[in-house]
A and B are shown apart, each in its own frame.
Chain A
Amino acid sequence: MGDTVTLSVARYRPEQEAEPVFQDYEVPLRRDWVVLDALNHVKDRLDGSLAFRWSCRMGVCGSCGMMVNGEPRLTCAAFLSDHLPGPIRVEPLRFFPVIRDLVVDITSFLGKLKKVKPWIVRKEEKPISEGEYRQTPDQLDAYKQFSMCINCMLCYSACPIYGLEPSFIGPAAIALAQRYNRDSRDQGSRERLEVLSEHDGIWQCTFVGECSQVCPKNVDPAGAIQQYKLASATRWLSLLLPWGER
């Protein structure tokens, strides 16, 4: 391993450029440095004008998602040494509008998240004085995986459908809807069904499967979507049977 590696970073300043340009920086190559450490080195010591988001440095806040050599990655979890030889290409998350340099606009996702009603819906609330809703470890397992989403948006960057149709509600939003649908305390699946079976809902998904490949938290949104497709397609059957209802 040499001493340094080249980072090729996409720059975009709306006041200056009509479209992004690449700028190269030489950064130290340390065994325990990730791409984010290299970007911070650039910002601190080489070029203070580089703009990017980051916060926790440990893969739980979801701020630092970017394209590293064409793949959507959390830059706090992408070791420089895994991307040799350079130059390492760092670009803003694909398929999102770019505000500046490596910062993209995610407001559309927040709108989609709100649409799927990501909260416990109940016909009747149990009073606090009666204690917790009982939920066995198995019932917790039924939705636990989908609750691990950190909203990092890597799945949207991996989804070609989202790239072609930005109004597609998308992997993370559907996975979070499923997180509540499968929670034994929730009674809101019917309300969510309306939103999810719209034109831009689950049926836009053609199971490319890339979202689950890039998800850093193993949420498996592709699985969530296919399971939901199966559930909603067989739902009409349960409506016919007197004992079936969800």
Chain B
Amino acid sequence: MEVFSCDVLVVGGGGAGLRAAIAVAETHPRLRVAVISKVYPMRSHTVSAEGGAAAVIKAGDTLDAHAYDTISGGDWLCDQDAVEAFVKEAPEEMLRLEHWGCPWSRDPDGTIAVRPFGGMKVQRTWFAADKTGFHMLHTLFQTSLKYEAVQRYDECFVTRLLVDGGRCQGVVAIELDSGKVLAVTAGAVILCTGGCGRVFPFTTNANIKNGDGMALAYRAGAPLKDMEFVQYHPTGLPFTGILITEAARSEGGWLLNKDGYRYLQDYDLGKPEPKPVLRSMELGPRDRLSQAFVHEQEKRRTLKGPYGDYVHLDIRHLGEKLINKKLPFVRELCLKYENIDPVREMIPVRPVVHYMMGGVSTDIRGATPLPGLYAAGEVACVSINGANRLGSNSLPELLVFGARAGEAAAAFAAGQDAPGPSVLRQVHDEEVRLERDVLGRTGGREKIVTLREEMHQTMEASAGIYRTGPALQRAAAKLRELQERVRDLSLDDRSRTFNTELTAALELSYMLDLAETIVHSALERRESRGSHQRTDYPDRDDGTFLAHSLARRGEDGTPRIEYLPATITRWPPGERVYGR
């Protein structure tokens, strides 16, 4: 087996990972930085983000306003010091990206254009047509090619974090095209592997979003914060889960139930106006819109389809010209993947899992409680998103915390010694384990697809938009059973070369760990806040629960939940109000 080394190792090559790598190369040019990813960087899920990225640059907007929108949108669970740092650094980071070539859409005078977005009181969302994430990722990837110091390990699947002497010192991975086990030791490791939406059946997330980094950190002893907060995006296509961007609503789209009625007006989200009104009706926050869908479902006012219930998103009244100019990708998606032309027909949509507010617990520099381990992006929970993330905050988050984690990890790594013999012994042990239990396994009775589907059913039924104690208890028990059965998987693929069945099995095992943390965290939080709604505890309880849940792996493998109070600086908890 081969052992490589570097100073800072970034796991994951998406927006946060590439920004972190560039930050290391720029702030500490003599350090060796490497990016290891199970896919080529331009395939990372950042590429699918459509709507936009928020930052304060226009006159009439203030940092405090952005901070307040974020904190109230997060139902006051955000760490306000982190939010203040975030809103302050976001404009600078986005301008830096513009200097690197990002093709932001412009106003006629050549300055950066902004558009309205759900939950934001002032227009501050920058956008690159409706492919913002695509352009940001490709700009970052192409710019990263400029730095000779950045070394890449493409298509290498990380299986374990190396922890020795109380600090994280690298990873062990499988090189996919050869099946070889390799290790990369490092002074510091930054996890940028994204979220775990694939734990749920209906999700906008790509196949690769299995929460690898979250599970790796969890298994290495780092706590996962706020895992119960799962964001549903109210408008996804029913079969594929493909996201229909919020921008379709911010440009003026309407959500209609089976009677053609704009049902959101029944749920304290304002009055229906012909033009979109910020923070009202269809531009309300995502969790409230998804909850409204569930209520409509209970009232039997949703439509029935072959893949589940749905409602309609109507943008016909915007006209072909505006749709082609501002929402070309929406039209393309509907035509190409569901054979529907939104200029002439209504789009079938339903809430789909979109984002994990929770993740590896970090401070505002991106450091986890495990020395040498850092995290940034969706994999991390700082927390700036609290109980519910506002649309167009996650893209700037990649840049701000990617840069912060990069700098912090580099400073830490600069003072570290080379890995000792005990680390190399761990590497050897992991190789033996992989050869014996994974690569060399035979027999087994369970199929990956069966266990995955059972996990999906459990999570959708018990850890969806509305939760109750008994359902969560049942889910916890079921997941324990699946954890037992996953040890008895049978694999058809016996090849060492590019074995994707093997990676699917490893990913399933990561997802089961994360599913357990989600369910247990949800069970312990006996209140309703943001995207976590308990029908048995329908009110928000700031007395007990103005705190983050921390899930740590127990001796028997099940999560143990503790609490960490949220940091409140200038904005005491208030009522989340929309449409008034």
By a beta-carbon cutoff of 8 Å, the part of chain A in contact with chain B is: 13-16, 32, 34, 43-45, 47-49, 51-63, 76-77, 99-101, 103, 105-107, 110, 113-114, 117-120, 125-126, 128, 131-137, 139-140, 143-144, 147-151, 176, 180, 183, 185-186
Given contacts A15-B495, A56-B206, contact A132 B146 (CB under 8 A): no
Q: Are A128 and B43 in contact, with the CB atoms below 8 A?
A: no
By a beta-carbon cutoff of 8 Å, the part of chain B in contact with chain A is: 39-40, 42-45, 47-48, 57, 92, 95-96, 98-101, 103-106, 108-112, 131, 134-135, 138, 142-143, 145-146, 154, 177, 206-208, 239-242, 332-333, 336-339, 447-449, 491-501
> What residue in chain A is nearest B497 (Cβ atoms)?
A100
Given contacts A55-B208, A120-B99, A151-B42, contact A60 B48 (CB under 8 A): yes
Q: Are B98 and A44 in contact, with the CB atoms below 8 A?
A: no
Q: Are B98 and A133 in contact, with the CB atoms below 8 A?
A: yes
The residue that B110 contacts in the complex, of A44, A48, A135, A183, with Cβ under 8 A, is A135
Q: Are B491 and A132 in contact, with the CB atoms below 8 A?
A: no
List 17 A–B pairs whose Cβ atoms lie within 8 Å, in order of A's numbering. Answer: A13-B497, A44-B447, A48-B492, A53-B500, A55-B39, A56-B43, A60-B48, A61-B44, A61-B45, A99-B498, A100-B495, A100-B498, A128-B92, A132-B95, A140-B106, A150-B42, A150-B47
Given A134-B109, A134-B111, A136-B110: 11 more A-B contacts, CB < 8 Å: A13-B497, A15-B496, A49-B492, A49-B493, A63-B43, A100-B498, A117-B146, A128-B92, A137-B108, A139-B110, A143-B103
A30 and B96 alpha carbons, distance in the complex (Å): 47
Given contacts A56-B47, A60-B48, contact A136 B108 (CB under 8 A): yes
The residue that B207 contacts in the complex, of A44, A54, A134, with Cβ under 8 A, is A54
Q: Are B493 and A51 in contact, with the CB atoms below 8 A?
A: yes
Minimum CB–CB distance from B242 to chain A (whole Å) comes to 5
> What residue in chain A is nearest B94 (Cβ atoms)?
A132
Given contacts A49-B495, A60-B48, contact A105 B105 (CB under 8 A): no
> What residue in chain B is nearest A143 (Cβ atoms)?
B103
Q: Once A and B bind, how many residue pairs between them come within 8 Å at the CB atom?
A: 169
Interface-central residue, B45, B101, B111, B333, by most chain A CB under 10 Å: B101
Which residues of the partner chain B approach A51 to less than 8 Å between Cβ atoms? 493, 495, 498-501
Q: Are B134 and A32 in contact, with the CB atoms below 8 A?
A: no
Minimum CB–CB distance from A135 to chain B (whole Å) comes to 5
Minimum CB–CB distance from A47 to chain B (whole Å) comes to 6
Which residues of the partner chain A approach B108 to less than 8 Å between Cβ atoms? 136-137
A150 and B142 alpha carbons, distance in the complex (Å): 12
Minimum CB–CB distance from B145 to chain A (whole Å) comes to 5
The residue that A13 contacts in the complex, of B92, B103, B495, with Cβ under 8 A, is B495
Q: Are B336 and A77 in contact, with the CB atoms below 8 A?
A: yes
The residue that A128 contacts in the complex, of B45, B95, B146, B499, with Cβ under 8 A, is B95
Which residues of the partner chain A approach B138 to less than 8 Å between Cβ atoms? 147, 149
A105 and B178 alpha carbons, distance in the complex (Å): 12
A147 and B104 alpha carbons, distance in the complex (Å): 12
> What residue in chain A is nearest B208 (Cβ atoms)?
A55
Q: Are B103 and A147 in contact, with the CB atoms below 8 A?
A: yes
A85 and B47 alpha carbons, distance in the complex (Å): 34
> What residue in chain B is nearest A183 (Cβ atoms)?
B101
Minimum CB–CB distance from A206 to chain B (whole Å) comes to 28
Minimum CB–CB distance from B42 to chain A (whole Å) comes to 5
The residue that A137 contacts in the complex, of B101, B106, B242, B493, with Cβ under 8 A, is B106
A135 and B134 alpha carbons, distance in the complex (Å): 20
Which residues of the partner chain A approach B134 to less than 8 Å between Cβ atoms? 60, 150
> What residue in chain B is nearest A12 (Cβ atoms)?
B497
> What residue in chain B is nearest A132 (Cβ atoms)?
B98
> What residue in chain A is nearest B177 (Cβ atoms)?
A99
Minimum CB–CB distance from A84 to chain B (whole Å) comes to 15
Which residues of the partner chain B approach A105 to less than 8 Å between Cβ atoms? 177
Given contacts A51-B498, A106-B40, A132-B112, contact A59 B336 (CB under 8 A): yes
Given contacts A13-B495, A44-B448, contact A56 B106 (CB under 8 A): no
A44 and B452 alpha carbons, distance in the complex (Å): 10
Q: Are B449 and A62 in contact, with the CB atoms below 8 A?
A: no
Which residues of the partner chain B approach A134 to less than 8 Å between Cβ atoms? 109-111
Which residues of the partner chain A approach B105 to less than 8 Å between Cβ atoms? 137, 140
Q: Are A136 and B106 in contact, with the CB atoms below 8 A?
A: yes
Which residues of the partner chain B approach A34 to less than 8 Å between Cβ atoms? 337
Minimum CB–CB distance from B226 to chain A (whole Å) comes to 26
Q: Are B497 and A58 in contact, with the CB atoms below 8 A?
A: no
Which residues of the partner chain B approach A13 to less than 8 Å between Cβ atoms? 495, 497
Which residues of the partner chain A approach B448 to less than 8 Å between Cβ atoms? 44, 48
Given contacts A58-B333, A132-B104, A136-B110, contact A49 B494 (CB under 8 A): yes
A140 and B110 alpha carbons, distance in the complex (Å): 9
Which residues of the partner chain A approach B447 to less than 8 Å between Cβ atoms? 44, 48
> What residue in chain B is nearest A76 (Cβ atoms)?
B337
A133 and B145 alpha carbons, distance in the complex (Å): 22
A49 and B336 alpha carbons, distance in the complex (Å): 29
Q: Are A47 and B492 in contact, with the CB atoms below 8 A?
A: yes
Q: Are B492 and A77 in contact, with the CB atoms below 8 A?
A: no
> What residue in chain A is nearest B44 (Cβ atoms)?
A61
A65 and B146 alpha carbons, distance in the complex (Å): 27
Q: Are B43 and A55 in contact, with the CB atoms below 8 A?
A: yes
Which residues of the partner chain A approach B495 to less than 8 Å between Cβ atoms? 13-16, 49, 51, 100
Q: Are A119 and B498 in contact, with the CB atoms below 8 A?
A: no
Which residues of the partner chain A approach B208 to less than 8 Å between Cβ atoms? 55
Which residues of the partner chain A approach B449 to less than 8 Å between Cβ atoms? 44-45
Given contacts A56-B206, A119-B143, A147-B135, contact A131 B95 (CB under 8 A): yes
